[in-house]
Structure 1
Amino acid sequence: MSEEENEVELRCTIELMARPKEAAVDSLKKILATAEENGKKLRIYNEVYSEPKELEKDFYSVYVTFNVSSDIESLFNFILDYAPSTIEVIKPEKVDLPISSLQTLLNDISGRLNEMDQTIKVYSASNVLLQNENSELKKKLNITDENKK
């Protein structure tokens, strides 16, 4: 099977929030450029950028919709690295994937999920410790939530 026959084409959207307004679209352009550089086999095209929408004072939401083509393994890595908010498969209608490739993809997904789980647990534990330290400091300084009002 040729490389073109193994190519998968997706239509994706990546969203972000940024400040100031000028940084919003620039940040998305950098994300796509980095994705294309890092994923040597990725081809990103047909980018359409939204106008930045102000959410709060000087805080903007923006998104880009684009096509990306590559082999399925590279696309899975792209999705895991950049977490597009929407993904539409444009082509092909059917994918023939060897079991070894599927196993690699599933192990990559599992590995990433485990990394995220560990990170969440570490930050959760740190948060609990900080809350406990904060409570202890409030007690020592005789600060109550009623004092804030």
Structure 2
Amino acid sequence: MFSVGAGCDGVDANQRDPNALHGDGAIIISRGASTATRVFVQLKLRRYAVPSTGYTYQVSLQLLRARDGERPEEPATLTFEHVNHDDLFAIVERMRGSTGLAPDAAAEAAIGLKLLSEVMIREKHNPLFDPLRNGVREFIVKLKGLSPSAQ
């Protein structure tokens, strides 16, 4: 199961503690064991309003359990900042209300799509993304056209 908890108050980017991922303004998305992978992953996003460029998020990914179900002695972690022109918290909520996906699946799809599409926008001249551009654009247009009662 994928669960999300959020307190979505923005924090000034100059006043933030880069190590503080819990509390107000943090969203914690945890995925439990699936029958296919049995990998436990915890993704934490924290939103900071940046007036000129959009929202800055701190994304942290930590391996909680390996494929065999064992907890690593020193979990692998990855943390980076991601700037996005959209409020990802609002997008997750809109997708939960309009896609017909289970709430956890909607959150997974929203976060994955927005991380990828924002990189594609910034890397508009990179041919790596050429095979994806039209399909992602069509998919986003279709998502935006869904009514909130699609569930």
Which category of TM-score, normalised to the shorter sequence, fits these structures? under 0.3
TM-score by length of 1: 0.26
Structure with the greater alpha carbon radius of gyration: 1
Greater relative contact order (Cα < 8 A, sep 6+): 1
TM-score by length of 2: 0.26
- Whose helix fraction is larger, Structure 1's or Structure 2's? 1
